[in-house]
Structure 1
């Protein structure tokens, strides 16, 4: 069951370098800041984290200036190749190592153009842009069911069966009418939908099978700018939590209890800042190490076991076809699946290159901020209270975390940059119908989202992509965000449209 990934041939790397050098040249200007001096808010990721390429379909895929400054361009492209290529089950050759169970064959399927996934009517994890993750949640405890891992994996390498065969998954999109009858005071209407997901037990391959559960959808998140969020000091995150707590906001206190901090690879403790569930921090810690391991099954020096449950291993070990194919009895199959010393398929250098890429993706520069309509929308955005959760800017710290020895001093750094993610990075409740698991959801960063249709092929929003445009996303807001939603609803159509223009520009 060992698997191996080989490095990219030198001739291919040379061609990539040539392509990069010829395709990323753009004139400086408001839409392409480059080295010209513009108002600071144009540099959404700061001077070290903002791409000079904008308004093209690859705007999310560019390296930060910090990558170029540090001479890491080639390493960035090597890491990028692991994200863009499809892994396989061959016994030798490039990009070998898929399985034994997996969620996607490549990362780019789930993160189209390095943005977020699209809303879909049916689970098809081989379709480009279909980036839904399924969560099976116990109805009573609200914990993940023990028969599954956190993400429900829907594919397997023969002779194994997937934990859940996606042919048994059904998504029903339901219409919802809100307390306002889906209508603004001026008569304009909007539509709201939400998903309900069911799984036919016949397509579940665990022993025992889970019962008494609900299924939740979560979409993939944009990948650009994660290195900049990673560079925000923990003290700043905690200060934001205390500030909002003092204002009487409803906060998820457990996230900021040191007893619940995430343990990084070096043993240090950190409150969460990544994912809808704030389930990862720092990027160089477990979140980075799980990037290929969790979805594709690619082992690395940090993770040398399969991402499976004991219930799945037991079901496969009792499967006669599996026993026959492997030439093992039940206990031998079970022991093999549960090993903690599997061969390393992505070595330390390869892993470091993926981390360089992950931390090196730039944020697109803001656009058209001097446009009168955008300025009008910005005024409305601030005046109705959106910034209470969508905090406009942060300042990074010295960015000197050294917790992962495999990447220490090998990654781009973003010290003391003023960045504009438009998120407080906190947990809030939106109180939606068929809400996210636990009801708590991180405020989504808004930077670059106006380019989503261009770069990712969709303009969907919220944790399960139920909102097909910004208006629907805002009208789904509840909890502490109700006051801003209601003020948005009271705006004139002209001001609502201007606010949309502002969101598309940042």
Structure 2
């Protein structure tokens, strides 16, 4: 074991007093005080519960053995099934028998291939007219992590999000009051769709090129890196707006989403420190978004920019943007088609009045949402291994746990008992952090600036190759392994990155081994 050293960055406790700062004028310009309505403390717990939660989530200082329950990152919902290619596709272990049936129905719809309209399979038509994939599973292969186009692989699990600058005072007002998080390209919408139904053309093709370079670590080890550049070729409907930015996004793993949804907002907001009041170099801030259903301001916690407040909303947006399927929450029967694409808007839809007012009516959206909420986090491996424990201490010493916060306790009043009052280990604070210009996409999404990204959860990261057959990481898969991913950290992650580069080979290997057990 390494001797315990002073942490290079102190891991802050949850501090409700900072919630006011996190929701202040800097984060929410133009909004009236109190408009968020977000709880600033755990209103689901008794005083005794709060004391227990604070004790169990307190950062450890003992790296001589694994912590209690550390091998169960999803609490009682953790899957203990055999680790293989299906490791991310199991249901939460604490579902009831009836809920397991609901999960299986949702899985069937998640895998369902949609077809273009009109079709004899009336419950399955409505695809597109422009789209990126025909099924949810096509993007979230094996419920895991997407990849950039590599060799002859397609771009099904990686998208280009499109956003342009506001042009008018009215557009600026829509962004300021959060009626919109950003503005789509006037011709190509909010996402580039490379596929289309018969008779139409896909919008264009994503082109990725890489510049190779080398980073030399303190001990002389050379690490090959690659810097991506993005463009679009074969634009079928004319030029994009000159201010439109391209933001590449690989599909993230689906595990543990229902547990993340039940982390109390106060516990996430209490970690925010947008002005770095404590001077530790970490300035995490929330992305506060407007709930389209209620109109209230709520905490965004899903997506690479923390732009989505709930799994149901995330599912509806994926149906509309990725597949071109309308739902009650997003009744866009023509998907992401714009007024500039007349032929697209003239195409037939798959709405069947006898089934509902959308192509994926409530029963479909409900089942896919339930499935997405209950994909289990696999149990950890080798938590007591000496090298793993050494790597865990390195993780803390470098300050990685300042953003990749190890643990939370979910809400006691969660709608589904399977998610209620669980000690979970996602290794994320679900806040936005500035990762520096090298990682920036220069695309604003709500409160997320061009260089800011939500801290991605690390649970399951060590099983990426087992499930998906690759080790591409970060928002665009530029990192080909965990070492490259760490070395891409800049901005608020720069000190941790430099600390990693200064480690000896044994400690670097221990850190990577620890991450591979998550």
TM-score by length of 2: 0.75
Distance 1:300 1:308, change over 3 A: closer
The alpha carbon displacement at 1:144 in A equals 4.2
2:161 equivalent among 122, 135, 144:
135
The answer to whether the aligner puts 1:283 opposite 2:323 as a matched pair is: no
Q: 2:140 aligns with which of 111, 130, 146?
A: 111
Tell whether the 8 Å contact from 1:160 to 1:316 is kept in structure 2 after alignment.
no
Task: Give, in angstroms, the shift of residue 290 of structure 1.
Answer: 2.2
What's the CA shift string for 1:299-356, capped at 9, x where partnerless? 222222246567x333334xxxx8xxxxxxxxx949x89x9x9942223222211111
Classify 1:138/1:351 alpha carbon distance in 2 versus 1 (closer, same or farther; 3 Å).
closer
| CA distance in 2: counterparts of 1:231 and 1:372, whole angstroms | 33
Q: Hey, which bits of structure 1, 4+ residues long, moved more than 6 A?
A: 139-142
1:299 lines up with 2:326 in the alignment: yes
User: Once structures 1 and 2 are overlaid, which stretch shifts more, 446-455 or 88-97?
Assistant: 88-97
Matched, 1:76 2:103: yes
Q: Is the 8 A contact 1:232 1:399 kept in 2?
A: no
What is the SS of the residue equivalent to 1:190? strand
- Would you say 1:228 and 2:259 are equivalent positions? yes
Residue 102 of structure 1: how far off its partner (Å): 1.2
Aligned partner of 2:405 in structure 1 is: 391
The question of 1:478 aligning with 2:490 is answered yes
Three-state SS of the structure 2 residue aligned to 1:145 is coil
Structure 2 equivalent of residue 457 of structure 1: 469
Q: Distance in 1 between matches of 2:417 and 2:334?
A: 29
- Pick aligned residue for 1:60 from 62, 66, 88: 88
Match of 1:377 among 391, 406, 410: 391
Partners of 1:432 and 1:476 within 8 A in 2: no
Matched, 1:316 2:338: no
Quickly say closer, same or farther: Cα 1:247–1:145, change in 2 above 3 A: farther
Give secondary structure in 1 for the equivalent of 2:88.
helix
Show structure 2 runs of 5+ residues with no match: 1-66, 168-181, 444-449
1:487/1:444 CA distance change after superposition, 3 Å:
same
Instruction: State whether residues 111 and 222 of structure 1, in contact with CA within 8 Å, keep that contact through their aligned partners in structure 2.
Output: yes
Q: Secondary structure at the match of 2:480?
A: coil
Show the 5 A alignment for 1:29-178: 39-47=68-76, 49-67=77-95, 69=96, 71-89=98-116, 91-93=119-121, 95-121=124-150, 125=154, 130-138=156-164, 144-162=184-202, 164-166=203-205, 169-177=206-214
Asked if 2 retains the 8 angstrom alpha-carbon contact of 1:232 and 1:395, the reply is: yes
How many residue pairs are counted as aligned between the two chains?
A: 425
Q: SS of the counterpart of 1:287?
A: helix
Give the whole-Å Cα distance in 1 for the aligned partners of 2:335 and 2:244: 18
2:269 alignment partner in structure 1: 238
State the SS of the aligned residue for 2:453: strand
Q: Is the 8 A contact 1:82 1:95 kept in 2?
A: no
Instruction: Please say which of residues 412-421 and 91-100 is displaced more in the overlay.
Output: 91-100
Match of 1:429 in 2: 434
User: Which has the larger helix fraction?
Assistant: 1
- How far the C-alpha of 1:221 sits from its partner, in A, is 0.7
Counterparts of 1:120 and 1:443, CA distance in 2 = 24
The one of 186, 203, 206 aligned to 2:235: 203
Q: How far apart are residue 246 of structure 1 and its match?
A: 3.3
